[in-house]
Structure 1
C-alpha cells in the first residue's frame, strides 16, 4: 500500500481506501458478516481510511465501521450529513439539523468526535450560505468534529466550496468516465491544500468489465432504479453514462489494459496517476473485492500512451454525455 496526504487534515491515508455505501444498502443484498470480513481484510492490506454516510442503510454502514474500529482504533472514518433531510432542500441545512445529524453519527460510530464529516451532496445553493459552514466551524470548535469537508456533484460546487478556509476535503466523482475534475479543480485543490477523495471510481461497477447487455440488478439496487436520476442525482449511477455507451467504452478500454491486470486495477491506477487525488474509495462487499481494489495501489505507473488511449475512449464515447453536466 502507498499513502498520500489528505490535505489540511495532515493525515496520511491509503491511496486506495474503502467506500462503504455498498455494505449499507442500495446495492442489492448484503451480508453483515461478509461485509465485516471485507472491512477486516482491507485493514490487513493496509487500508487506513473508510468513507461512509449516515443514510447508507440508515446507519447500518456506520455501525459496521464502529465494530471495525474497536479492533483497529488507528483507522480514520469519514461520514456525511444532510441527505436525511426530507425534502432535501438548502433551507434544511440549519444549525439544529446539522447538529442532530452529527450527534446521530457519533452514536452510530460509538465515538466522541467524528474524524471527518462531509456535507452530503447538498443543493448548489448551500455552497453560497456562509452560515452553514459557520455551523461546521462551531461543531469543530466544540470538539464534535475534527475536520470537515464536502461531497459534491459538480465541479462548480467544488470550486465554490474550497473558498471556505476550513474546508479540508472535497469528495468528487472522478474516474475514466468522469475526467473533468482534472481540468481545473485539481489545480485549485492543490493550491489550497484540499484533500481529494475520488468517489464512484469504478462507475458503479461498469468499470469492472463484468457487465453485459443482459446483466440484471435487484430491485433495491440503485443501478436498477436510478439510471435516469429517479431517486437522486443521475451521475451517481454508472457515473451518469448511458448503459450501452458505457459497455462500448469498456470494450475499448479492455484493449488498453496491460496483460496481467484487470480493468478494475487499471481503472484505479488511472485515478492514482493524478497527484491531486488523496485516495480513491472503491466499495467492496466481499474480501476478494477488497483484495483486487487494494492491489492497484502498488502497480507501476501507466504509460503516456495508455493515458492518451484512455482519454481518447472518453472523448469518443463519454465526453458528450457527462463533461458539460457535472
Structure 2
C-alpha cells in the first residue's frame, strides 16, 4: 500500500481508502453485515487505514459497523464521518451550533469514541461557504475535543475553492474520476498551495467504471442508481458521476483497450486517479472482501503511460465533457 499526507494533519493515509456508504444498507441495494465487516477487515489487512462514512449512511449503521471493526483491530485507523444531511429541510440555516453539536455527539456514540478524527460538512448548500460562523462552530468543537480536524465534502469545484479560504479546513472531499476532470484543472493546484488534503469519492462513477455494468443491469429499488439518475433524491452528480447511463456505457467500451494487462477496469480507473499527486486518498466502496481486495491492490499497480493518460483525456473531451464539465 502507498501512503500519502492528508493536508496538514500529519497523517499518512492509504492511497486507497474505504468508502462506507454502501455498507450502510440504504442506497446500494441489499447488504449483508457479515460481508461488510469482512470487507472492512480485508481492506485493513491490505494496508487501508482511512475509512470514510457519514451519519446518514444507514441512519448511523455504517458508523456502528466501523466501530465494531476498530475494536477488533490494533492498527491505527483514521475514521472520517460527515454531518449535515440529517437536516430536513436541508438548508444553510440548519448548519447552526445546536444542530452540528447534536450531530457530532450522535456520531461519537455510533463510533464509540471520544473524538472524531475528521468531521466533514456533508455537501452543504453553497450558501454555507459564505458563512464564517459555521466554521467558527467547527473550531469550537475542535477546542472542546469532540473533533480532531474538520473538512468539507462538496458537489462543485466553486464550493471547494470557497471552503479552502478558511484556515482550519484540512480536507476537501470531491468527485473526481475518468468522467469528471474539472477538479484537476481548477482546484488541485489551489489545494496543494494551501496544503489541503484531497479525498476523492465516486471514483468508479457508481460502478460504470468497473466495467461490469450493462444495458440490462438491474438495480434494487433502494439503490440510488435506480432512483436518483436525474437527481430525484440528492445531487445528480452522485449517481454515475452525472453521466447519462447509456453514454457512460459506450465510453467504457472505448476505454477497455486502454486497460493494461494484469489490471481490471476498476483498478485502471483507480490507478488513473492516483496519477495525480495532489490526491491524498481515494475512497471506493466495497460490500464484500473480494471488492475490497480488488480496490486495495490498485495502489500496487504500475503507473499509467503518458500515452494512456492522453487517450483518456481525449475521450473525456470528446464524449463526456459537454455533459458534466460546466455543471459541477
State the TM-score bracket (shorter-chain normalisation).
over 0.9
Alignment partner of 2:267 out of 250, 265, 268: 265
**3-state SS in 1 of match to 2:79:** strand
Q: State the SS of the aligned residue for 2:299.
A: helix
**1:200 maps onto 2:205 in alignment:** no
Aligned to 1:27: 28
1:111 partnered with 2:100: no
Aligned: 1:172 with 2:178: no
Moved runs in structure 1, 4+ residues, more than 2 A? Answer: none
Report deviation, 1:255. 1.2
Q: Secondary structure at the match of 1:293?
A: helix
Gaps of 5+ in 2: none
Q: Is the 8 A contact 1:248 1:317 kept in 2?
A: no
- Aligned equivalents of 2:17, 2:111: Cα separation in 1: 18
Distance in 2 (alpha carbons) for counterparts of 1:259 and 1:112: 46
**Correspondence 1:7-156 to 2 at 5 A:** 7-25=7-25, 26-73=27-74, 74-156=76-158
Q: State the 1:316 CA deviation.
A: 1.5
Q: How many residues align?
A: 326
CA displacement at 1:263 relative to structure 2: 0.6
Residue in 2 that maps onto 1:228: 230
Which of 298, 307, 310 is the equivalent residue of 2:309?
307
Give the Cα–Cα distance (whole angstroms) in 1 for the partners of residues 190 and 79 of structure 2.
25
Give 1:251 deviation, angstroms: 0.4
Distance 1:153 1:53 in 2: 16
SS in 2 for 1:313: helix
What secondary structure sits across from 2:222 in the alignment? Answer: coil
Distance in 1, matches of 2:33 and 2:325, equals 37
Q: For residues 127 and 146 of structure 2, what CA distance do their matches in structure 1 show?
A: 25
Preserved contact between residue 38 and residue 290 of structure 1 (Cα < 8 Å): yes
Q: Matched residues in 2 for 1:36 and 1:154: separation?
A: 32
Which deviations, in whole Å up to 9, do the C-alpha atoms of 1:136-178 show, x marking residues without a partner?
0000010000000000000000000000000000000000011
Tell which deviates more after alignment, 71-80 or 240-249.
71-80
- The CA deviation at 1:298 is 1.0
Specify the alignment match of 2:212 in structure 1. 210
- The match for 1:288 is 290
The structural deviation recorded for 1:241 is 0.1
CA distance in 2, matches of 1:192, 1:88: 29
SS of the residue aligned with 1:149? strand
The CA deviation at 1:236 is: 0.1
Q: Secondary structure at the match of 1:59?
A: helix
In the TM superposition, residue 72 of structure 1 has moved relative to its aligned partner by 2.2
Checking the alignment, whether the CA contact within 8 Å between 1:5 and 1:11 is kept in structure 2 is yes
Structure 1 segments unaligned to the other structure (5+ residues): none
Q: TM-score, normalised by structure 2?
A: 0.99
SS in 2 for 1:215: coil
Distance 2:90 2:277 in 1: 34
- Distance (Å, rounded) in 1 between the aligned partners of 2:72 and 2:169: 30
Deviations 1:167-223 (A, max 9, x none): 000000000011100002000000000010000000000100011110110000000
Aligned to 1:219: 221
C-alpha separation in 1, matches of 2:72 and 2:112: 13
Determine whether 1:320 maps to 2:322.
Answer: yes
Moved more, 267-276 or 65-74: 65-74
In 2, the alpha carbon distance for the partners of 1:190 and 1:49 equals: 20
Tell me the TM-score normalised to structure 1 length: 0.99
Distance in structure 1 (CA, Å) of the matches to 2:227 and 2:252:
22
Greater CA deviation, 68-77 or 161-170? 68-77
| Residue aligning to 1:5 | 5
Query: Can you list the C-alpha shifts for 1:42-101, whole angstroms capped at 9, x where unaligned?
Result: 000000000000000000000000001102251110000000000000010000000000
